[in-house]
Structure 1
Amino acid sequence: MHRAVGKAMRQEVQPMREAVRRHVGSELKVVRHSFLHAFRVKVLDQDPTRLPRMWIGSRIPWSGVHETGVTIGGKMLIPLHGRLGKKRFKAFVDELMRGGNAYFIKKGGKVILMAENLKEYDRPLAGFKRRYRKAEGIKRLKRGADIPIAILVRQVTLRKRLNVEGVVRQRIAALERAIQRFL
């Protein structure tokens, strides 16, 4: 019986995995497909003293916050235009601050990190300038023009965006039929 239930669960692993990945892909704007492939389904039935079970989760530890929602506190700099990795963004901001090209302004109750369009910072600022021009619809930026880099926030609230548990509940009937077939 233990072996039959394990076989039935293994047969349902791929449809379950595809359903979860489809749901995540439809609810989140996924840039990298590796994010979707991090969602895994495993059957744990090796221990004969325990009942077989199915594990559904992600290798990315923070992906669960999209299932429950969370509020993150503390001062954080959020890049305004584009995506940057945490380490790369920190190095970029440090370089601008050390060079004296970055400063904070308060505009409309928000604290914004700005940088000046200077020749010696053309290379590091290139991506930010391009995305800023595109977002604002500007053809050319003049030398000395201010470019918004990031916004300083005290807390970020991520709402619940995924319902993986609901997807699994919908697939339980198919899993139950598979188990009955094998028994």
Structure 2
Amino acid sequence: MKISIRIDSAAARAQLRRWGGEFREKVHKAVARAMASEAAEIKQEVRAHVAGKMAVAKKSFLKGFTAKVLAKDTKRLPALYVGSRIPWSGVHESGGQIGGRMLIPLHGRVGRKRFKAQVAELMRGGNAYFVKNAKGNVVLMAENIQEHDRPLAGFKRRYRKAEGVKRIKRGADVPIAVLVPRVVLKKRLDVTRLVAGRIPRLASAVQKQLERL
């Protein structure tokens, strides 16, 4: 997800070209300073917004959202970049649909790599099978047997918590995941609106810096 906020217009860029070299450099630095002074707060606001709208399991996801000034091209006024280093985070800004059959863990979160390894271990041991429940959903099940206590431990714990049971009998079926044809993701973030709301303040900061020249 990338959001670029540029407050310079065609007239402003033309004026920048007309200014002398030394003064133009000062203007460029002044605009960059103003944007940098606001970027830190915008970054924190964006991260707080994401944390408030989503159940974030890993701090690295929040830290992926950043705001920085792009000011290397001295022939153009600086720009403010707001976005995330995580490519797929943008789907939460617009909503979307992921096609293809997927296994979605039941009763809580499981890391992708860990979930894949656990399911693979159950499959290799012949203790993973699909059933269709009363609602017509295809569910991956596993039998509660001693040989697979380790890969089943997390699934059993989350299942007991969800169902409010203290103990699962040996030989009982434990639901692992549901097989879905697609996943529809609703719009959960509105980073664009948040950043747009900061433009007046950003413009004011730029103007104050220019008035000091």
Per the alignment, residue 132 of structure 1 pairs with 159
Q: Which runs of 4+ in 1 moved over 3 A?
A: none
Q: Post-superposition shift, 1:81?
A: 2.1
Q: What is the aligned counterpart of 1:6 among 18, 24, 32?
A: 32
Q: What is the aligned counterpart of 2:147 among 74, 98, 120?
A: 120
Tell me the SS of whatever aligns to 2:93.
helix
Q: What is the aligned counterpart of 2:118 among 80, 92, 108?
A: 92
Q: Post-superposition shift, 1:169?
A: 0.9
Take 2:149 and 2:125, find their aligned partners in 1: how far apart are those partners?
A: 13
Q: Say yes or no: does 1:37 pair with 2:66.
A: no
Instruction: Tell me the TM-score normalized by structure 2.
Output: 0.83
Per the alignment, residue 54 of structure 1 pairs with 80
Q: Post-superposition shift, 1:161?
A: 0.6
Take 2:124 and 2:113, find their aligned partners in 1: how far apart are those partners?
A: 16
Higher RCO, 1 or 2 (CA under 8 Å, sep at least 6)?
A: 1
Q: Deviations over 1:98-157 (max 9, x none)?
A: 111111000121000000000111111011111101110111111000000000000000
Q: What is the aligned counterpart of 1:148 among 175, 179, 182?
A: 175
Instruction: Tell me the TM-score normalized by structure 1.
Output: 0.96
Tell me the SS of whatever aligns to 1:22.
helix
Take 2:176 and 2:97, find their aligned partners in 1: how far apart are those partners?
A: 23
Take 2:47 and 2:33, find their aligned partners in 1: how far apart are those partners?
A: 22
Take 2:58 and 2:123, find their aligned partners in 1: how far apart are those partners?
A: 31
Number of aligned residues: 183
**Aligned-pair identity (%):** 61
Q: Which moved more, 1:83-92 or 1:165-174?
A: 83-92
Gaps of 5+ in 2: 1-26
The amino acid that maps onto 2:209 is: F
Gaps of 5+ in 1: none
Per the alignment, residue 179 of structure 1 pairs with 206
Q: What is the aligned counterpart of 2:41 among 15, 26, 35?
A: 15
The amino acid that maps onto 1:11 is: S
Tell me the SS of whatever aligns to 1:12.
helix
The amino acid that maps onto 2:46 is: V
Per the alignment, residue 188 of structure 2 pairs with 161
